[in-house]
Structure 1
Amino acid sequence: MRHLTVFDLDGTLVDTPRAIVETFTAAFGALGIAPPDASAIRATIGLPLGQAFGALLGLPADDELVASGVRRYQIHFKEIILPRAPELMFPGVTEGLDELRGLGITLAVATSKVHASADALLRSAGLRDLFALVVGADQVAHPKPHPESGRLILRTLGVPAESAVMVGDTVHDLHMARAAGMRSIAVTYGVHGPRELAEARPTWIADTFDDVVGLLRAAPKGLAG
């Protein structure tokens, strides 16, 4: 039976949260608006950009100021985050993904980034060719935590939900996995802390990417159980 692991991107494969805060801050500065506190920005990581800017500005996601913020963010993303992608990967990611592929596990990404930005980040980090599919927030009507992203990946790759595991650092990832019928691994080194992650009831919890690989190495034997 074919097995699938779906990864979140920011805070799971690539240590981008600090750079994301810098990018939001630069975008607010370009708009002539005082940026929110870093903690407020971090709290929006894992949401699509429009929702994040809307929450930070207290405006609807379709407001023109929100749209301007998103455009500014995307400009600064190319300047601030992309050049640093190779050095932002969490320890063990490249080796771990190679090992999982060697075990015959199909790999995919479900992210709240738009597809073009996710693809560019993965390519800059040297990871894109490891993934059979990358699904961004602009490719579904309802991004995470809605299960649509996960269901799209399962359907496209022809893998049943019981043979798939979602790996992510936020409760949005875990809620998506549960709603899509997938098992999940919560990683504690990203945006949300262990207590918050545990409340979302992941199947497993991992403190390092090596721990993720260890769990997935053993998981296929019991995925259908």
Structure 2
Amino acid sequence: MSSCSPSSAERTATGTSVHPAGWMLAPLSPAWATTSSTPGWKSPVSPIASARQADGAEGRSPMTHRLVLWDVDGTLLSTGPVGRQALEVGTAEVAGLSEVPHVSMSGKTDPQIVAEILAVAGTSPEESAALIPAALGVAERWLAEGRPRIVAEGFVQPGVPEVLEALSATHGVRQTLLTGNVEPNAFVKVDAFGLAPFFDFAIGAYGSDHPDRECLVPMALERVARLRSDRFGADEAWIIGDTVNDLRCARAAGAHCVLVATGREGIGNLGRLEPDHLLDDLSDTSTVLDILLG
């Protein structure tokens, strides 16, 4: 596993993310950027989300204190083919590929996926480091333009809106994203289905923060403590995901994990991983709340 130290992948004053190898993701475009609580970082937080995620802990029950970290693809929703196509088009365009190698994307970060495509295509690590940020920039624009297709061809996973609403109404619970998507892509996907208001994007952790998913949970814990003055122990954090990589990042940080069989891996394969809890989907709101809040 690569170093997870802040110096390895940190948000800089220009709004970029620095990869350990030295390449930098381009700053978010003005179309996505709204000022967040992180100095110098422009986070695509919707105005509604900002209003709902007010700071302070007044009125909370002392019995409930949870940080719920949601994976996006396969857990909250499916984008249909447009999600894969955005990364493939971005990589092909900047690398001049006439044919894009097929790689597994499930549970991986966007920078990791682009790096794997380039490696299979025969691009050297040095060349890849220079191409990755440009490829991700193209992918971001392509996905944003494909938003109508996300709505038409994708869907929200069963039970997700009800669980999000119930957690949002529970004092002492904060919800954000922990995903391999770069932050602008994560916002586009959840906002396409009207889910953005449930999440405090500024305290989340994304593929644009670090290409190694196992580094993301500590980043989210640090951000919620720094930005919201709300300190969570790892045992108060729950990852909700659909892949082995979601479980790995939870275990690396000492957090809990619920896996749902709504992605590509299937309940049989997920069951062999022995997560804290395994569900077919999130349609039984009461059961999900008992797991997360019990």
- With over 3 angstroms needed to count, the CA separation of the structure-2 counterparts of 1:168 and 1:221, relative to structure 1, is closer
**One-letter amino acid matched to 1:107:** Q
- With over 3 angstroms needed to count, the CA separation of the structure-2 counterparts of 1:85 and 1:194, relative to structure 1, is same
Structure 1 residue aligned with 2:74: 11
Determine what percentage of the aligned residue pairs are the same residue.
23
**One-letter amino acid matched to 2:186:** A
1:209 partner SS: coil
Q: How does 1:75-90 map to 2 (within 5 A)?
A: 75-80=141-146, 82-86=147-151, 87-90=154-157
CA RMSD, 1 decimal = 2.7
**One-letter amino acid matched to 1:145:** E
- With over 3 angstroms needed to count, the CA separation of the structure-2 counterparts of 1:200 and 1:154, relative to structure 1, is farther
TM-score, normalising length: structure 2: 0.63
Q: CA deviation at 1:199?
A: 4.1
Q: Is there any run of 5+ residues in structure 1 with no aligned partner, and where?
A: none
Instruction: Choose which of 89, 92, 96 in structure 1 pairs with 2:159.
Output: 92
- Per-residue CA deviations over 1:156-210 (Å, capped at 9, x if unaligned) read 5422222221100121111111121111101111133334433443101111121
Matched residue pairs, number? 215
Distance in 1, Cα, partners of 2:139 & 2:257? 30
**One-letter amino acid matched to 1:138:** S
**One-letter amino acid matched to 2:246:** D
Distance in 2, Cα, partners of 1:150 & 1:9? 15
Structure 2 residue aligned with 1:192: 265
Q: CA deviation at 1:110?
A: 0.8
Q: CA deviation at 1:112?
A: 1.3
**One-letter amino acid matched to 1:76:** W
Indicate the structure with greater helix content. Answer: 1
Distance in 2, Cα, partners of 1:78 & 1:70? 12
Q: CA deviation at 1:17?
A: 5.8
Please tell me whether residue 182 in structure 1 is matched to residue 266 in structure 2.
Answer: no
Instruction: Choose which of 118, 130, 145 in structure 2 pairs with 1:64.
Output: 130
Please tell me whether residue 36 in structure 1 is matched to residue 101 in structure 2.
Answer: yes
2:81 partner SS: helix
Q: How does 1:1-225 map to 2 (within 5 A)?
A: 1=63, 2-16=65-79, 18-30=81-93, 31-37=96-102, 40=103, 43-58=104-119, 59=123, 60=125, 62-80=128-146, 82-86=147-151, 87-104=154-171, 105-132=173-200, 133-139=203-209, 141=210, 143-146=212-215, 147-152=217-222, 155-156=225-226, 157-211=230-284, 213-220=285-292, 222=294
**One-letter amino acid matched to 2:214:** P
Contact 1:165 1:185 in 2 (8 A): yes
- Per-residue CA deviations over 1:106-154 (Å, capped at 9, x if unaligned) read 2121111222222233233211211234322223x46412343443356
- With over 3 angstroms needed to count, the CA separation of the structure-2 counterparts of 1:214 and 1:33, relative to structure 1, is farther
TM-score, normalising length: structure 1: 0.80
Contact 2:259 2:270 in 1 (8 A): yes
Distance in 2, Cα, partners of 1:115 & 1:25? 18
Q: Which moved more, 1:179-188 or 1:28-37?
A: 28-37
Contact 1:177 1:183 in 2 (8 A): yes
Distance in 2, Cα, partners of 1:79 & 1:17? 14
Distance in 2, Cα, partners of 1:160 & 1:55? 34
Contact 2:242 2:259 in 1 (8 A): yes
Q: Is there any run of 5+ residues in structure 2 with no aligned partner, and where?
A: 1-62
- With over 3 angstroms needed to count, the CA separation of the structure-2 counterparts of 1:198 and 1:7, relative to structure 1, is same
Contact 2:164 2:198 in 1 (8 A): yes
Q: Which moved more, 1:166-175 or 1:184-193?
A: 184-193
